[in-house]
Structure 1
């Protein structure tokens, strides 16, 4: 799925939780800037898209 609207919603969710993730990494002594975090955000979006599709498939199966 490559739905720009859904990707924007997923990015908003990721950005909401980014400070917690950054704090976790900082507490572990891992310093990353936003440029370093970009590949991880893309990976997270891929995971969120797959989870969304799985939920959609399961919902469709339950209605049949």
Structure 2
């Protein structure tokens, strides 16, 4: 992540949806603690960052 402020916003979004993801994994019989979830959170943050950058570049290319 290049922007610490954006990274914090992404982490807040991820944490908001974490209980839903944990519930899904629990229903599948996959037990993970927060230490186990950390690599997945990092992956999710990377995806969110790339999606943000893609949207940002498209917005610059196609001004309203």
The two structures share one fold, judged by TM-score above 0.5: yes
Q: Is 1:40 matched up with 2:45?
A: no
Secondary structure in 1 matching 2:62: helix
What is the aligned length?
64
SS at structure 2 position matched to 1:17: helix
Structure 1 runs, 4 residues or longer, greater than 6 Å off: none
Tell me the CA shift for residue 22 of structure 1: 0.1
- Specify every segment of 5 or more residues in structure 2 that has no aligned partner in the other structure, as ranges: none
DSSP-derived class of the 1:2 partner: coil
Instruction: For residue 56 of structure 1, report the CA deviation from its aligned partner.
Output: 0.2
How far off is 1:49 after superposition?
0.3
Structure 1: which 5+ residue stretches go unaligned?
none
- Name the TM-score, length of structure 2 as normaliser: 0.96
Could you say which residue in structure 1 is the equivalent of 2:59? Answer: 59
Q: Partner residue of 2:10? A: 10
RMSD, aligned CA: 1.2
